[in-house]
Structure 1
Amino acid sequence: MMNWPAGGSDPLLEALQSDHLPDLGHVDMAGLLGDPRLGRRALVSSFGAESAALLHFVTQLFPDMPVLFIDTGRHFAETLSYRDLLAERLGLNLVNILPDPATLAGEDADGRLHARDPNMCCTLRKTFPLADALEGFDTWISGRKRYQGATRAALPVIERDGSHLKVNPLALWTEADLAAYFAAHDLPRHPLVDRGYASIGCAPCTRPVRNGEALRAGRWADNPDKTECGIHLGPDGRFVRGRPGRG
């Protein structure tokens, strides 16, 4: 029998896993997502290449689930159109989240912060806005999957993420599972997928994936040490405002 990967745990996590995810062969995802111990829940979506599957899967069970979209101001126009299409087709309870304009004016006046300091750009445009939005929730739902790359290969289905619980309902899905789900429910693909974009983030930092590359190779391709935007904190993570040395 395969066990869940090692990582931060506590009595609540252990109880939820025992009740709904005792091992990799017994996953009661609907039961987990509906468990009142999760508290106030929100789904966070980038409306990227594979987002429609998670959005459909969760909102078929919980139609009123808030869907948080971080509008960084740097998304592809196609992503915004796709967001609007899915919001209408699936009847989403969509909540658009924006970065603080005063902070952007001070830190990214020329709009080139992504080139100078991509980590700080993600922090200002994604991490801080999401942190503020999640203050009203106890649990958030993510679309990450194990097959997306080495850094996600041991991704748990439920985990601690800073002060929140986080559920990854599609963590154990394969590419074939995802393709079958899109086909079974006639879900539209992101328009950039056909142009080679396997993983889709902000326009300045995303390119198509070349033959033989990993799915997320087109994200921050000019910065090989950067693989995540920083919104996933892990069990000991905390949101920290400002740069070191600033008040």
Structure 2
Amino acid sequence: MTTSSEVDSAVAQLQGKSPQEVLAWALDKFHPHVSLASSFGAEDVVLIDMMARIRPDACVFTLDTGRLPGETYDAIAAIAKKYPQLQLQTMFPQTEAVEKMVREHGINLFYDTVENRKLCCYIRKVEPLNRALEGLQAWITGLRRDQTDNRSQMEVVELDAARDILKINPLIDWTNDMVWEYIRANDVPYNALHDRHYPSIGCAPCTRAIAPGEDLRAGRWWWEQNNQECGLHVNAEGKLVRAKG
């Protein structure tokens, strides 16, 4: 069990370090019991490239919800080809749970109510995530402070208190411009939807392109008011899953 003092020590050690230094620390300390949670968005492919340079057999998992855009599968295939030693695990939702949900609420239930949308996100994403994290000591994310108000107070290392596991955010201080500078400088494969004004990409029915000047997360669950999280990083009350200070 990780204590708050251990988290505080890690934050002090890694504050101001480069993403590569944070990843090197994580991989040295926890491999193979640490994995990147990847949706193959821009931040995640940056982290994959960095990890592969440090440890080619680094672990990555992705959540195949069954509703992903075709471009996301193309990105997964391109990454797997470029980094063949990568230990990539694909997690799927429980078939029985999906069938029951669709039978009771319809195929596009998420448009009807916030509760239905959260149910769909839980079954297709949160529950598979929880299974993916079983047996791990830490997980790595592509979260950045400037993505949403919810994330503005996050640290480079946190305790995911709900799951009693360390959460490591190497890109926490990076900007969107820094992410894309790295992708272009290192010829990293990325999701083609990014070139069509999709800065944040999730399930196809729940993601749209954004207009100039819109928030980077405005294309996610756009029919809802003030909803920018699916539940992977927040609890049922909409609060970030983190240690209580």
How many residue pairs match? The answer is: 228
Whole-Å separation in 2 of the counterparts to 1:112 and 1:177: 36
CA contact (8 A) 2:31 2:58 kept: no
Aligned to 1:152: 151
Q: CA deviation at 1:34?
A: 3.2
CA contact (8 A) 1:49 1:200 kept: no
Aligned to 2:109: 113
Q: CA deviation at 1:151?
A: 2.1
Which segment drifts farther, 177-186 or 159-168? 177-186
Identical positions, percent: 35
Aligned to 2:230: 229
Q: Name the SS for the 1:147 alignment partner.
A: coil
Identify if the C-alpha distance between structure 1 residues 97 and 182 changes in structure 2 by more than 3 Å, giving closer, same or farther: same
Aligned residue identity for 1:16: A
Q: Where in structure 1 are there 5+ consecutive unaligned residues?
A: 1-8, 238-247
> 4+ residue stretches of structure 1 with deviation over 4 A?
none
Aligned residue identity for 2:57: D
CA contact (8 A) 2:42 2:179 kept: no
Match of 1:70 among 56, 63, 76: 63
Q: Name the SS for the 1:159 alignment partner.
A: strand
Aligned to 1:13: 7
Q: CA deviation at 1:180?
A: 1.9
Q: Name the SS for the 1:192 alignment partner.
A: helix
1:86 is aligned to 2:48: no
Q: Where in structure 2 are there 5+ consecutive unaligned residues?
A: 235-240
Identify if the C-alpha distance between structure 1 residues 39 and 16 changes in structure 2 by more than 3 Å, giving closer, same or farther: farther
Match of 2:16 among 7, 21, 24: 24
TM-score, normalised via structure 2 length: 0.85
Q: Name the SS for the 2:167 alignment partner.
A: strand
Q: CA deviation at 1:49?
A: 3.7
Aligned to 1:99: 93
TM-score, normalised via structure 1 length: 0.85
Aligned to 1:125: 124
Q: Name the SS for the 1:165 alignment partner.
A: strand
Aligned to 1:188: 189
Aligned to 1:219: 220
